[in-house]
Every structure is written in C-alpha cells, then in structure tokens.
Amino acid sequence: MDDPKLYKANYHMQRRDVANLLKKASDSSMLRHLPNQRVLDIGCGPGDTTCSLLLPFLPDDSQVVGVDISPEMIRVARETYKSNPRIEFQECNIEGCGINIGDTLGKFDQIYSFWTFHWIQNQRVAFQNVHDLLKSDGEILFLFLATSPIYNLFETISTYPRWSKYMTDVKKMLSPFHGRTDPCAEVRHLAKTLNFQDIKCTLQNSTYEFPSMAALMKSVQAIDPFINKNSERFERILFIRLQGGNSSRYGRLG
C-alpha cells in the first residue's frame, strides 16, 4: 500500500463503510465530544478519510494526529493537507515492539482506526500500544475486516505451483481473524485482558458491488503490492474464480 494515487482512486468501498459507521456513531451518540479533545487516527493513509470524514464528525476545536506505517502515504498526506491547522501526520508503526509509543505521540481522548487492524498480525502488541496511548477515560472506535472472499482466493492461489513461491507469506495478506468461529469473542477477550473497559464488538456482513471486473482488480491492486506486480495473470484467475458476479461479501468488525 505504497501508491497513494492508486489507493485514493480505489477506496470507494472502504470510504462507504467509514461514512456509515461515523453516521451511526453520530446518530446514537456513541462517543463523547469533549472540548479541545486530542484525537488519533491509526492507518490514515494519504489523509483523505481523516480530513473528509473524521474531521467533520469531530468538534471544531479537536486536534487530530494521523499516523501510518508508510512513509510515502505520510508524505502525500502532509503535502495535501498542510494548510489545515487542525491536523498533523506522523509516520508510526502501531505494531512496533519495544517502543514507548506514548512518549512519541502523547495521550489521546479518542482513537480511531478504519480498515487497518486486519493488516496487523500481532494484535496484542497493537492493542497494548493503543491502550498506552489512550487517556484513562478515553474512547476508541475501530473498523476492520474479519474475513473476505478475497482471502479465500489468496489462500487458493498460494497453493498453485506457479504462484506458491511468490506467496510464502500469504498469511500476512489475511486478517488474523479470517476463518475464526467467533472473531468478536476473540477481540473482546483480548481487550479485556489489556484492561479496556465497556467493550463492544459487532460483526456485520457487508456486500459491495463493483461496477466491473476492472474496478475490482484496481481495488485489490491498491492494497496489495504483489498482486499489483502480477496483475495480468492474477486477473485471469480472479475472473475465473469470481465469474459468477462482481460482488464482494465480507465480514467487518466495528
């Protein structure tokens, strides 16, 4: 995910889900709005969702820090939104081990993360870092994938002799909750062991219809560098596997 231009042009499904979640949070008064609150957005990418969806959701006096593991994403975010005084962007790996992340970023009233945590394999370390960054009465709102038909496709392709040597790390392309019986129970248990309070987790089945096979391919390419480099061959396999339709059904946690 180091191509901000490709990513921004093919973020439609993710953007829809983030907008729906924030509307639900607003309608239900799910989160408190505090004066001069400090907010963190984990996995901000090129900053579009942070600035166009999250900022309008927050009080006007909120200050937001967007972080991402990709230096290129942060570079583009800083350049694009440098005139906005309410937000700053920093490079950060929330899964980093042995780092006192709170000393670097400080403490936050609220922490958000959209379509990011399914990329993180060491969930315990990441959630521990989130806990360390959160003020004692702070709140978090996360949205990430539990499973997706694309994951099944990745697993299948990784067994093909032609592709297996390129996909030895296929597990890194899958959500750590993929194939689990009760991912919400796992998230709740993890959060409880790390001393989070008032834990709520829901699993929602969602469907997104891509307008064409090309649009689906672009969406996959935007998030996976391996597929991006081998797009023509992968597209043929994808077409065969999904020729019954262009819908993607997935389970997301929020």
> pLDDT for 106-120, tens place per residue?
999 999 999 999 999
CATH of the domain at 42: 3.40.50.150
Q: Where are the alpha helices (DSSP H) in 81-160?
A: 101-105, 123-133, 149-157
Give the pLDDT confidence score for residue 245 in this predicted structure. Answer: 44
Residue type, 73: M
Sheet containing strand 38-42, edge to edge, reads: 87-91, 63-68, 38-42, 108-114, 134-147, 247-253, 203-209
Measured distance CA(194)–CA(66) in Å, rounded: 23
Range of the domain at 70: 4-253
Taking residues 67-91, report their average pLDDT: 96
How many of the other CB atoms lie within 10 Å of CB of 35?
8
- pLDDT at 243 (0 to 100): 55
- The answer, as to whether pTM is greater than 0.85, is yes
Structural domain count, the chain: 1
Give the other-Cβ count within 10 Å of 228's Cβ. Answer: 18
